Homo-oligomer: A and B are copies of this chain.
Amino acid sequence: MTSAAAVRRRTPADKFEDRRRELADAALLALADLGYARTSLRTIAEHTKFSHGLLHYYFADKVELITYCVRRYKAACVQRYEGGVGEAATAAELAAACADGLAAALGEAPLMHRMWYDLRTQSLFEPAFREDVAEIDDSLRDMIWRNVTAYAGLAGAEPTCSAADAYALFDGLFQQALLRHLADEETALDDLRRGVREPFPRLVG
């Protein structure tokens, strides 16, 4: 709050906020590369065209920067899943589309998801991260829940579990798949697809 960040707001269209986003995006890449424990402000700066001192011009301290990163990740996250699974005609198609979507997300950006799980774990130790992490978790849970309720609609039934339980299931499957995928297990993605598609019928009734 006492940093330069809180005071300055001269240029009308927020070039200031743009630069913050740019720096945060670079920080997210660094976090995905190295993990929270090994990411310093200087290594973050090396992922940008700027020097390390600039980070303290735009962020009060490291916690504020990482917190901003979490929020930024959330923005990209909800945007990605917002236009989700809408064009499935049958229940089985929807389950398959959901499974393919999750497997594709894992296959295309495993490091980003690794970073998400890292940040979520950090929130267990750093209360400053908790609120934003919980919000992301909520939006992911809602994303899953939209799929489950859509499946139930197509199947002419009602969900038989809570949104939290459904999210726990798919999140657990996704995390295990990530672990195995990063350990170079070839079947990880296929197993994830199967593991996601299969339980749908059991979640409604």
Contact = CB atoms under 8 A, between A and B. Distances in A.
Interface stretch (A51-59, A74-82, A89-97, A173-181): A173-181
Contact of A172 (B175, B178, B191, B198): B175
Contacts of A179: 120, 123-124, 133-134, 137
A183 B38 contact: no
Interface stretch (A42-50, A101-109, A161-169): A161-169
Interface size class of A (residues with CB under 8 A): 35 or more
A63 B173 CA distance: 28
A165 B198 contact: yes
A199 B125 contact: no
A8 interface: no
Given A37-B125, A118-B121, A118-B124, 17 more contacts: A36-B37, A114-B121, A114-B125, A120-B179, A121-B121, A124-B179, A130-B183, A161-B198, A161-B199, A165-B173, A167-B172, A168-B175, A168-B176, A168-B195, A169-B173, A170-B172, A172-B172
